[in-house]
């Protein structure tokens, strides 16, 4: 079995055929689904889906692109829902920063503030973090360490896998591996993979985005985690069955689900 630990099922692109998407995944062995929070507007849809399907869970969080919609009250309203398993995705993303240097610095400060606020909420409600990091490894790591995020741990769902973040494996952090691993230009992630402890590996799609080879260009969906699992197995030279079992056990443990 595989757990898709990061799948935006609340995205409009799944609205018309969600049942089919989930059934295809289940038939392919994907048995649990976690919808990360991104912005306040899709949270209701995520909760609705998690209430409808036993095997779907959700997280509450504000993506660094949507920090203006951060509302602590909205968190406290839903965080104790029985299907809410994490806080995030939250974190830092410097990839799309715009404007003058001054404006960029200001935006970074804002992102950091909202990231810290969400770490505090995770500790308050004892939920693991789903952390989004892009082009901001050093700052993200510093914030996680400074704010003692290891108290709750979490998953680093990151595009630039680099050495900087590896040591967080010793701080209770897991590494979400997705479709990027199958890309021809994924050298960094391919190189770092063997250095991630196996008991810290989990699998994700990040659908509808980042569709793995051979379906690049199409909408991503949870069934395609099977391509990610196969690629991990190939690169680590370990049986596919073992990879599926280990990553599943890791995800169940991290998100405290059965």
Smallest gap from Cβ 6 to Zn ion, in A, equals: 6
Residue pair 163/136 in contact (Cβ under 8 Å)? The answer is no
Task: State the DSSP code for 212.
Answer: P
CB of 134 to Zn ion, least distance (A): 8
CB-nearer residue toward Zn ion: 14 or 73: 14
Nearer to Zn ion, 40 or 236 (CB): 40
Q: Is 158 exposed, middle or buried (0-12, 13-18, 19+ CB in 10 A)?
A: buried
Nearer to Zn ion, 132 or 200 (CB): 132
**Count of residues interacting with Zn ion (CB under 5 A):** 3
To Zn ion, the closest distance from the beta carbon of 213 in angstroms equals 19
**Shortest gap between Cβ of 237 and Zn ion (angstroms)?**
29
93 binds Zn ion (CB under 5 A): no
Rounded-to-integer distance, Cα 151 and Cα 241, Å: 31
Q: Partners of 158 in the beta sheet?
A: 133
8 Å CB contact between 141 and 165? yes
256 forms bridges with which residues in the sheet? none
Rounded alpha-carbon distances, angstroms, from residue 126 to 71, 79, 138, 214: 19, 10, 25, 39
**Is the separation of the CB atoms in 224 and 211 below 8 Å?**
yes
Q: Does 132 bind Zn ion (CB under 5 A)?
A: yes
Q: Which stretch binds Zn ion (CB under 5 A): 43-51, 72-80, 85-93, 216-224?
A: 85-93
Q: Which residues contact 13 (CB under 8 A, 6 or more apart)?
A: 208, 219
Q: Does 10 bind Zn ion (CB under 5 A)?
A: no
Site string for Zn ion, 204-243 (x = CB under 5 A): --x-------------------------------------
CB of 242 to Zn ion, least distance (A): 27
Rounded distance between C-alpha atoms, residue 159 and residue 66, angstroms = 18
Cβ proximity to Zn ion: between 132 and 244 the closer is 132
Residues of the shown chain interacting with Zn ion in the complex, contacts defined by CB under 5 A: 89, 132, 206
């Amino acid at each position: 079995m595989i757990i898709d630990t990061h799948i935006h099922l609340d995205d409009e692109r799944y609205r018309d055929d969600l049942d089919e998407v989930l059934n295809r995944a289940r038939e392919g062995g994907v048995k649990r689904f976690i919808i990360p929070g991104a912005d306040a507007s899709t949270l209701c849809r995520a909760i609705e889906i998690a209430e409808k399907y036993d095997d779907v869970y959700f997280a509450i969080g504000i993506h660094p692109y949507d920090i203006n919609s951060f509302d602590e009250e909205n968190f406290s309203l839903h965080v104790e829902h029985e299907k809410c398993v994490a806080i995030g995705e939250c974190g830092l993303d410097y990839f799309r920063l715009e404007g003058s240097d001054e404006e960029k610095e200001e935006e970074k400060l804002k992102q950091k503030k909202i990231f810290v606020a969400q770490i505090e909420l995770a500790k308050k409600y004892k939920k693991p973090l789903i952390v989004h990091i892009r082009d901001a490894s050093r700052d993200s790591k510093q914030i996680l360490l400074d704010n003692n995020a290891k108290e709750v741990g979490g998953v680093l769902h990151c595009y630039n896998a680099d050495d900087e973040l590896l040591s967080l494996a010793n701080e209770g952090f897991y590494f979400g591996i997705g479709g990027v691993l199958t890309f021809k230009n994924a050298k960094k992630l391919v190189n770092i993979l063997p250095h991630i402890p196996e008991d810290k590996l989990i699998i994700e799609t990040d659908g509808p985005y980042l569709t793995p080879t051979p379906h690049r260009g199409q909408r991503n969906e949870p069934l395609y985690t099977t391509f990610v699992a196969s690629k991990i197995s190939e690169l680590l030279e370990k049986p596919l069955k073992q990879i599926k079992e280990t990553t599943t056990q890791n995800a169940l443990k991290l998100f405290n689900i059965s």
